[in-house]
Amino acid sequence: MPKKPTIYDIAERLNITAATVSRALNNNPKISKPTRELVIKTAAEMGYEQNKLAQALKSGKSHNVGVIVPRIDNNFFASVIRGIEEELYPKGYHVIICQTHNKEDLEIRNINSLLNAQVDGILMSISNAKIEEKEGFKNLLKKSIPLIFFDRKRDIQDVSTVTIDDFRGAYESTQHLINQGCKRIAHLSNDRLFLIYKNRYLGYKQAIIDNGLEFDENLVIEIESKISEGKRITKELLALENPADGIFSSSDFTALGAIEEIKSQGLKIPENIAVVGFSNEPFTKFMELSITTVDQSPVEMGRIAAQVFLEEITNSKKVKSKKEVILSPELIVRKSSMKLENKFI
């Protein structure tokens, strides 16, 4: 196996010092442009590769940014990552993507791995609502690198966040169902220790109360964001003596499960029961019975999270300042809930 060339090999070929080669490769202004160009050209010809880790240790910057998400096979998170990459790649940053599969032990391992890789910052959507209580996460908070939460977050001092207005998205979704004539609306929630699901629940509840309808806690069910769970719970809802005539789901996947169960029982959507999901997954638009849902602008969320990181990394004062960015949700009305024409919200 051939030996990799070093700066000393380049220096010997050009009959200059290794220090001059090093300065030229690092764009030191003390080195003349002709010398710098000659060194770079010779290095390329010899197949020289700079040690990125050594550069990072020396400069204090690796130009690597960690992104931690629950899953990358989810369209929402894939779109957020796309936005992050579109914003950071032109600035010379490389994105390292980790997924947790909603397992807190894997989340801590990912955090530690990224810290060991000397990343310049971490952008993450948490998998565990109590993560800041874990020792590994405390280690991250002690570091001077930027940490930005997106979508799923915890309210932690000096940690910036980029989210959408989940309360408003849920309120408008529930209001839409009420405008379509629904009187008894169920809410398929998720773990309300997460602020996004808590706020969606609160938005739903407030819309019910504001419209003078009876709020029934029995119509609020916490389940995992799975099609199978949506089917299972909807079967139970339809078996009630006074079944729901509308469903607002905090997830498009549970909404899809609900629709499958409703159709399997021979009921009509939206005539017998209207359904609204949340997230605007691609399948919601292309189904024969398209699903009303809330768009979360994931690409924009990713771009803004990256912009917040760039602001923090270039903060010359080195004083941590929490920034909260809340994006506006968009209710997209489709066939699954549209009982009445021209009464969308």
Q: How confident is the model over 297-312, as a mean pLDDT?
A: 95
Write down the domain spans for the chain.
7-50, 63-163+298-327, 166-296
The string of pLDDT tens digits covering residues 14-31 is 888 888 888 888 778 888
Angstrom distance (rounded) from CA 312 to CA 88: 14
- The token pair at 27 is 């764009």
**At residue 59, does pLDDT exceed 60?**
no
157 three-class SS? coil
- Note whether 68 and 124 are within 8 A (CB): yes
For domain 63-163+298-327, the CATH architecture is: 3-Layer(aba) Sandwich (3.40)
- Note whether 262 and 269 are within 8 A (CB): yes
Stated pTM of the model: 0.81
Question: Does 166-296 match 7-50 at the fold level?
Answer: no
Q: At the topology level of CATH, where does 166-296 sit? A: Rossmann fold (3.40.50)
Angstrom distance (rounded) from CA 11 to CA 33: 17
- Note whether 136 and 122 are within 8 A (CB): no
123 three-class SS? strand
**At residue 137, does pLDDT exceed 80?**
no
Superfamily (CATH) of domain 7-50:
lambda repressor-like DNA-binding domains (1.10.260.40)
Angstrom distance (rounded) from CA 261 to CA 93: 46
- pLDDT in the model for residue 51: 62
